[in-house]
Structure 1
């Protein structure tokens, strides 16, 4: 049974055996561990804050059940301390004393390191300011009344007026956290949902599930309902180039693609105490694309390396979600896509919702407001699909905490109908040992009445979804300036090689570019092109696998590549140029550069008049070329009309382009 203990050291919860001796309370209340000079003979317990105290030492030999304690009872513990003597050891600040070890074990939320956006919102009250109402406010400009005082961030009227469906996570925290909570008596207001059978049973009166079950260890009935809050309020793609580059694989092959979104979390000012996920890059793991789906290998072996690399950006990043395509061109017009996801069909399939719940369960959010130190997840699901007019747009979702708990308990499965989730049958076999409690969901019938219905055998997937808005910034300032480098895990379509990197660095003249102290006037354009080329997530992620640059130099590379002032301040490249890894890379670049053949050797057998004629023809061709640099489609020889081959990476571009679609270098 669950017994709550309150003392001046804090509040504690413990699962105890009803037949255990009362002396167990002396070990479970953590007093002995937290106060080394306690007088054990003065420890008293009571069922009320003041009065009725009984010495705990006098209750030895009596069980908790005989004392009348029941599941959920609250016990108040008091004690006195011994007088400190001269022989007491002085406190040490350099070592962790044994007393802090059990305290940390029972208070995991105190050891949690939260995301910077959570630290930001915890330092603010989040109140919504209001201007003085000229009609109702009768006070002066410095006064305040009920008509102009700030609103709480969870104010229902404000959310309804501004059509905000969900509370933000921190607004929800403000709502559920008692205002009188202080550090010494703080009890985390959030308890993660768990629909699994408790094993072993807290009572200890029967064998563990599946051999036995009782009301103390079985989960309660579940009523599905719309989650009132959301962990992420908005998904922001730092640049449209990020999405366009991701879509190129589908445009060339017709196969669906999947990618992990790399970015960070920031405050979102459109929602009280809101949080947005900002996506700076999309990293594509190994996968097998198909016309109507894809196969993905999990767990992702490269995830630790990618997370570590992302954390080394000038502003640390992480995996904020994942994105995949679900695109199907129309038969009558292949330039437009089928509008398959809408309220009349489905927005998120049951299979996708279960996958999202699995991913969110594997990526929990650390929170000081949760009894376990973890709560829900901020991982966002983004889907690229066709719109009503046949274009392509992003849809963003999360699944509720109920969805995650049901997947963890192995209670639900996908259905043939994408908009329906099936509830699994109970299984008492030793291999599965699945217990499924009663599951209900409510809806309004044709008469407008609220009706509760059993969710077995199936229920709509909408009960598990949480909508997330999305968009692009009006004035993009992406951390990565380029998206042109070849993308990983696109075999046969884009193959990343060291030779390709060395060739591009050579074309940019990287070995000849000195640091800012030794640069000559007129080299600004070369430095600008090199800086843009280096500021590419896919380039840095690839170089990290080549071991050409040691780990410390890769940290410098990542900070330089994501520096906010990289494109405006050429000196930002200096720390990278000073590393041994860069010098080694430049040595390989010089060795890889094509050897220049001298004119005397190449032209020694060609008469001078022929050379002059060739030069005149070349000059005439240059004069006839359009000023914009767009190549004429009426080319001679074996060149393909409308195609312009990149001299750097040999990729065939459309003739209207002035730079290569793959490597980004001038054509």
Structure 2
């Protein structure tokens, strides 16, 4: 049964069996206090009077004391006496609960929220209004009902500005207005409690647990599906259109669907009262198998801990804010256009995608001081790249509701053949996979415009689980990363390799760049090369850069001053790992033979270039010399479409700006 307690430390609820000893109740109350004297505990069924010393009730059960389910008891006690100053013996450590013990008892008091939550908690969030020229009759420094600021949850304001959902902090302010007696009291409980649709095990009344038995005390209440009034994220902002274009390039070249994790951070969103937006700075693509109509990937992915830890050390700390996937099919008649597949007559998120989103959100909860568990909801956003009605490509962003996450956690729902319909599972009383399914209902308007309540068994529309999130691009893009040259896990398209990295560094003569120089063109080229999330992530797998230096590399790569401030680049090239990388580059980079033609045994040969090429070059140079240099002159200036590399002297006949052999720029 449930017993409610009110003391100087706050209001609490404990689940106890009716035959539990009163000492069990005292032990639970002691857990909520810090320095109470157990011998001074009193208990009463009234706020004042009828106090009874608990020490006189030893051996009594709660049932014998007349305590029933839902009763409210008032507890009083005296604090332990302070230790005497003359006492030389230190106080036993158990008299002061450790910080970890306090955290276990009150998780909402010690949880660390995101900086955007701290920002909104420090502000009142009210919506300012200017003076109304029609109704305001007062002076410029006065205020009335027509011009006073509105609360962030004002219904009329949201309707006028077509804002469908309250922001998370506006919803909190509606539940517990700032400055009210409830919120200023230290005894208040957090207003949020995550929904739970599972049977309580064990049951507070003491009967055998489900599936052997169930009662009103342990079974979940009936569920009425409804549109969630708030959303954890109000807007998805892509820092630059190039991020989406680079992600789409794999689909354009192969026709296979792609998936990626959104790397970014959270910021205040001023277009919604007390709003929060997720800003995407990069898309990290995990190992996956793309198909024409779907894809396969592993969850959790092997590299996830490393990527999350690395992202924390950017100049603006980053995290995974969501995921994105493509659902693109070209039109059969015009392959330059895409099919319009997600619309009001079809679906926006399929049932399978909604259930997957619920799994991801459950695994990434949001720290909250307003929840009894210290966590509530999730800010993971689901983004879809899909076709528009005009045949173009656009982004759509969603979340799923807390009801959806709770139903997935309770193993209540599953996908159906129809993408717009979610099936409610059958109840299972087997010992191995016991599943209790409470009554589930949803409301809708019938053909007469009347609101009707209908059972959700065996299925219900997936729209009841979806929360819309707006999206867009900034007018003045300022992404943290300026480049995305080679993206990970695209085998056959963009193969990341140490040799490719070495070639890129050799092209800009990176080993010759020294600290303290001005921002020369070579230093700008190096800064642009390093300002790449995918490159920095790849460096972490090469064993060439230490873990500590990886933090320096990422901070510099994500710095807004990287291309202008030479000291930012100096922080990288003065590290020990950079010197190791440059040594590796000198040894692995393609050689630059000059003078005599290199031989197969020459020290300047590149091991990656077959010896036959050098022999061919030597023969051609010998023939040119015998002809008095005419052949070389003709190859250099007369033969159309032929360019000789000044480094390895190989003739490049297929166009392009880089040598086909050594990869260095042609002149």
Same fold (TM over 0.5): yes
Match of 1:632 in 2: none
Task: Give 1:587 shift.
Answer: 0.6
More displaced 10-residue stretch of structure 1: 72-81 or 346-355: 72-81
Distance 2:388 2:491 in 1: 30
Distance 1:325 1:666 in 2: 38
Task: Give 1:276 shift.
Answer: 0.4
3-state SS of 1:280 partner:
strand
Task: Give 1:62 shift.
Answer: 3.0
Residue 450 in structure 1 maps to residue 451 in structure 2:
yes
Q: Over residues 366-393 of structure 1, what are the superposed CA-to-partner deviations in whole Å (9 max), with x where a residue is unaligned? A: 1111001111111000001100011111
Task: Give 1:463 shift.
Answer: 0.1
The structure-2 alpha-carbon separation of the partners of 1:504 and 1:71, relative to structure 1 and needing over 3 Å to count, comes to: same
Distance 2:93 2:556 in 1: 36
Distance 1:149 1:219 in 2: 44
Does structure 2 retain, via aligned residues, the 8 Å contact 1:340–1:386? Answer: yes
Q: Over residues 601-626 of structure 1, what are the superposed CA-to-partner deviations in whole Å (9 max), with x where a residue is unaligned? A: 5657644985477557745789999x
Residue 432 in structure 1 maps to residue 433 in structure 2:
yes
Task: Give 1:105 shift.
Answer: 1.7
Distance 2:25 2:69 in 1: 15
**Structure 2 unaligned residues grouped into runs of 5+:** 598-617, 644-650
Task: Give 1:73 shift.
Answer: 2.7
Match of 2:71 in 1: 73
Task: Give 1:525 shift.
Answer: 1.5
3-state SS of 2:302 partner:
coil
Distance 1:512 1:477 in 2: 30
Does structure 2 retain, via aligned residues, the 8 Å contact 1:239–1:478? Answer: yes
Distance 2:253 2:61 in 1: 73
C-alpha RMSD of the superposition: 2.8
Does structure 1 retain, via aligned residues, the 8 Å contact 2:483–2:531? Answer: yes
Task: Give 1:209 shift.
Answer: 1.0
More displaced 10-residue stretch of structure 1: 464-473 or 206-215: 206-215
Task: Give 1:272 shift.
Answer: 0.4
Task: Give 1:101 shift.
Answer: 4.7
The structure-2 alpha-carbon separation of the partners of 1:597 and 1:666, relative to structure 1 and needing over 3 Å to count, comes to: closer
The structure-2 alpha-carbon separation of the partners of 1:526 and 1:32, relative to structure 1 and needing over 3 Å to count, comes to: closer
Task: Give 1:477 shift.
Answer: 0.3
Q: Over residues 128-152 of structure 1, what are the superposed CA-to-partner deviations in whole Å (9 max), with x where a residue is unaligned? A: 1111112211221111111111111
Q: 2:561 is matched with which residue: 556, 559, 565?
A: 565
More displaced 10-residue stretch of structure 1: 311-320 or 613-622: 613-622
The structure-2 alpha-carbon separation of the partners of 1:197 and 1:598, relative to structure 1 and needing over 3 Å to count, comes to: same
The structure-2 alpha-carbon separation of the partners of 1:536 and 1:417, relative to structure 1 and needing over 3 Å to count, comes to: same
Distance 1:140 1:644 in 2: 73
The structure-2 alpha-carbon separation of the partners of 1:93 and 1:348, relative to structure 1 and needing over 3 Å to count, comes to: farther
1:375-390 → structure 2 map (5 Å cutoff): 375-390=376-391
Does structure 2 retain, via aligned residues, the 8 Å contact 1:364–1:375? Answer: yes
Task: Give 1:47 shift.
Answer: 2.7
3-state SS of 1:325 partner:
strand
Does structure 2 retain, via aligned residues, the 8 Å contact 1:503–1:648? Answer: no
Does structure 2 retain, via aligned residues, the 8 Å contact 1:500–1:649? Answer: no
- TM-score of the superposition, structure 2-length normalised? 0.90
Match of 1:633 in 2: none
More displaced 10-residue stretch of structure 1: 390-399 or 134-143: 134-143
Match of 1:191 in 2: 193
Match of 1:154 in 2: 153
Q: Over residues 86-139 of structure 1, what are the superposed CA-to-partner deviations in whole Å (9 max), with x where a residue is unaligned? A: 266899999994365543222111121111111111111111111111221122
Match of 1:47 in 2: 45
Does structure 2 retain, via aligned residues, the 8 Å contact 1:33–1:102? Answer: no
Does structure 2 retain, via aligned residues, the 8 Å contact 1:9–1:31? Answer: no
More displaced 10-residue stretch of structure 1: 319-328 or 178-187: 178-187
Distance 2:97 2:330 in 1: 65
Task: Give 1:592 shift.
Answer: 1.9
Distance 2:548 2:593 in 1: 39
Match of 1:346 in 2: 347
Match of 1:27 in 2: 27
The structure-2 alpha-carbon separation of the partners of 1:31 and 1:528, relative to structure 1 and needing over 3 Å to count, comes to: closer
Match of 1:119 in 2: 118
Does structure 2 retain, via aligned residues, the 8 Å contact 1:22–1:61? Answer: yes
Distance 1:105 1:282 in 2: 36
Q: How many residues align?
A: 634
Does structure 2 retain, via aligned residues, the 8 Å contact 1:5–1:75? Answer: yes
Q: Over residues 491-548 of structure 1, what are the superposed CA-to-partner deviations in whole Å (9 max), with x where a residue is unaligned? A: 1222111010001000011111111x245xxx62111111011010110111101110
3-state SS of 1:545 partner:
coil
Does structure 1 retain, via aligned residues, the 8 Å contact 2:9–2:33? Answer: no
Match of 2:5 in 1: 5
**Structure 1 unaligned residues grouped into runs of 5+:** 626-635, 652-662
1:23-422 → structure 2 map (5 Å cutoff): 23-30=23-30, 34-35=34-35, 38=37, 40-81=38-79, 83-86=81-84, 97-98=96-97, 100-177=99-176, 179-180=180-181, 181-182=183-184, 184-204=186-206, 206-422=207-423
Distance 2:136 2:127 in 1: 18
